[in-house]
């Protein structure tokens, strides 16, 4: 039975972001989950050390979330949001607006983070058109940014490894550099931040008249390797966008819903975006719902008689799905009743202490953390910060070793990603960090 399933998986499937030759060598099929662990078809259990790719909040099979979906199923599973709405999509919109930054007063649903970003880009583009500023058609994006894998989202991204193949398909955007403290020569966080803001300002001085919006991840560049922005940077970007009349699109897909110890990471810097994309944790990791938030000013620019053709011409079949919206409502209710934000804020310090365990390892260059979003950069030499040769695939081999030891996570190059479910207890965090330590130690001492 298990053997047959594995054969079928190799014969019929094609997995995302996966070299299938790697999969065929080390297949893995998950059958169930409970709390912070998932179980494969052989009965082996693993800690979900990456929250099933940055999604999970309360653990798997959370009773209240399961119940919410079952109850909704007694009513209806799905009806469309094109030209009409449904009960949970409407209730959820109010909840989302109540917890989001004040200036954001409208929510537009979709099914994935990439779509939420596409929508933000198209809204920004059309906003200027609708108000008669047709010269504003370009974007500024951040180096090493990641906003998802659809063509528009990739165009404002810049992870070389993902993006060089598709270059000819993309629209161009101006790329602004982003501070990367570990590899910067700057003497202080403030200096590093200021230098980068100056470069951004130069781009704005030259091009602001043709720029519709700037896109940026909120506080942490996740896929770039958990690169945490220095204090003052995000709010500095906000100030520049305002000064040069450029809309600010903040990507909270990874950082939103408590991941960094605030409901949204832009709260760390009291930033009010013009557009904000969210997804991932919105349903507690249960169902695909995403949301683009925007201001009343932007909404108003689309509100007119049909004949003016100011309508936002965008939508997806499953937008506003009732099961997804219902579980999102219940997820957010649990954020309140179980004090998830406070819990993450409280456990962040414990987790920081636990992670210092890794500092003593020969090949750990830097441990980065904002709340429950952590990255461990592995290097060949701590002194020179020299990276391992890419072809050694050190991060990949560490993740395979962790799997053997009972924890799942996916690296970004040689940065080990650690994003436990937000409700993880101290003992669980400790067990996960120990597995990470053992795997890093074993694999890196073998490499050279």
Is residue 354 within 8 A of residue 429, CB to CB? The reply is yes
Token pair for residue 285?
């990791």
The minimum distance between CB 207 and ligand PLP, in angstroms, equals 24
Confirm or reject binding of residue 146 to ligand PLP (CB under 6 A): yes
Confirm or reject binding of residue 114 to ligand PLP (CB under 6 A): yes
The minimum distance between CB 277 and ligand PLP, in angstroms, equals 7
The minimum distance between CB 321 and ligand PLP, in angstroms, equals 14
Confirm or reject binding of residue 147 to ligand PLP (CB under 6 A): yes
Confirm or reject binding of residue 395 to ligand PLP (CB under 6 A): no
> According to CB under 6 A, which residues from 74 to 113 bind ligand PLP?
112-113
Residue number, 55 or 435, with CB nearest to ligand PLP: 55
278 annotated to bind ligand: no
Residue number, 120 or 354, with CB nearest to ligand PLP: 120
Confirm or reject binding of residue 217 to ligand PLP (CB under 6 A): yes
Confirm or reject binding of residue 233 to ligand PLP (CB under 6 A): no
Residue 424 CA: distances (Å) to CA of 58, 304, 356? 8, 48, 18
238-267 footprint of ligand PLP as x/- string (CB under 6 A): -------------x-xx-------------
The minimum distance between CB 285 and ligand PLP, in angstroms, equals 11
Token pair for residue 108?
């537009």
Residue number, 112 or 155, with CB nearest to ligand PLP: 112
Residue number, 86 or 283, with CB nearest to ligand PLP: 283
280 annotated to bind ligand: yes
Q: How far apart are CA 448 and CA 443, in angstroms?
A: 10
Residue 255 CA: distances (Å) to CA of 250, 263, 361, 390? 10, 9, 28, 28
Token pair for residue 447?
């490499």
Is residue 209 within 8 A of residue 128, CB to CB? The reply is no
Confirm or reject binding of residue 121 to ligand PLP (CB under 6 A): no
The region of 121-129, 142-150, 368-376, 415-423 touching ligand PLP under the rule CB under 6 A is 142-150
According to DSSP, residue 321 is labeled -
According to DSSP, residue 35 is labeled B
- Size of residue set near ligand PLP by CB under 6 A: 14
Cα dihedral 213/217/219/224 (nearest 10)? -140
113 annotated to bind ligand: yes
Tell me which residue of 378, 419, 423 sits closest to 396, measured CA to CA: 378
Residue number, 260 or 444, with CB nearest to ligand PLP: 260
Annotation: binding site for pyridoxal 5'-phosphate: 113-114, 251, 316-317
Q: What residue ranges bind ligand PLP (CB under 6 A)? A: 112-114, 117, 146-148, 217, 222-223, 251, 253-254, 279
Annotation: binding site for substrate: 146, 280, 315, 410
């Amino acid at each position: 039975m298990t053997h047959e399933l594995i054969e079928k998986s190799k014969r019929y499937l094609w997995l995302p972001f996966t070299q299938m030759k790697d999969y065929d060598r080390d297949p893995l099929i998950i059958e169930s989950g409970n709390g912070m662990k998932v179980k494969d078809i052989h009965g082996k259990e693993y800690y979900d050390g990456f929250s099933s790719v940055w999604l999970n909040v309360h653990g798997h099979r959370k009773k209240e979330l399961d119940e919410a979906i079952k109850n909704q199923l007694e009513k209806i599973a799905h009806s469309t949001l094109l030209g009409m709405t449904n009960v949970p999509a409407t209730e959820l919109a109010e909840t989302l607006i109540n917890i989001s930054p004040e200036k954001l007063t409208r929510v537009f649903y979709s099914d994935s983070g990439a779509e939420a970003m596409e929508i933000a880009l198209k809204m920004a583009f059309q906003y200027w058109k609708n108000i008669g500023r047709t010269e504003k058609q370009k974007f500024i994006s951040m180096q090493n940014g990641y906003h998802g894998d659809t063509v528009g989202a990739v165009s404002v991204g810049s992870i070389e490894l993902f993006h060089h193949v598709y270059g000819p398909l993309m629209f161009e955007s101006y790329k602004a550099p982003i501070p990367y403290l570990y590899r910067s020569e700057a003497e202080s966080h403030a200096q590093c931040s200021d230098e980068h803001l100056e470069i951004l300002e130069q781009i704005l001085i030259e091009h602001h008249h043709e720029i519709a919006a700037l896109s940026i991840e909120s506080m942490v560049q996740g896929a770039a390797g958990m690169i945490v922005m220095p204090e003052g940077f995000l709010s500095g970007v906000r100030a520049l966008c305002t000064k040069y009349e450029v809309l600010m699109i903040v990507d909270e897909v990874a950082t939103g819903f408590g991941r960094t110890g605030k409901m949204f990471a832009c709260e760390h810097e009291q930033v009010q975006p013009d557009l904000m994309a969210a997804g991932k944790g919105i349903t507690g990791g249960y169902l695909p719902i995403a949301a683009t938030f925007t201001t009343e000013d932007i909404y108003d620019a689309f509100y007119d008689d049909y004949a003016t053709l100011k309508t936002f011409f965008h939508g997806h079949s499953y937008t506003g799905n009732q099961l997804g919206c219902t579980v999102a409502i219940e997820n957010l209710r649990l954020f309140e009743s179980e004090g998830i934000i406070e819990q993450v804020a409280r456990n962040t310090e414990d987790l920081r202490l636990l992670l210092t365990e890794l500092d003593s390892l020969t090949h750990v260059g830097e441990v980065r953390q904002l709340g429950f979003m952590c990255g461990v950069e592995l290097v060949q030499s701590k002194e020179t910060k020299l990276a391992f040769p890419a072809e050694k695939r050190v991060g990949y081999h560490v993740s395979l070793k962790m799997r053997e030891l009972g924890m799942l996570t996916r690296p970004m190059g040689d940065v080990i990603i650690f994003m436990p479910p937000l409700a993880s207890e101290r003992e669980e965090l400790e067990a996960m960090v120990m597995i990470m330590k053992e795997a890093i130690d074993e694999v890196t001492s073998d490499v050279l």
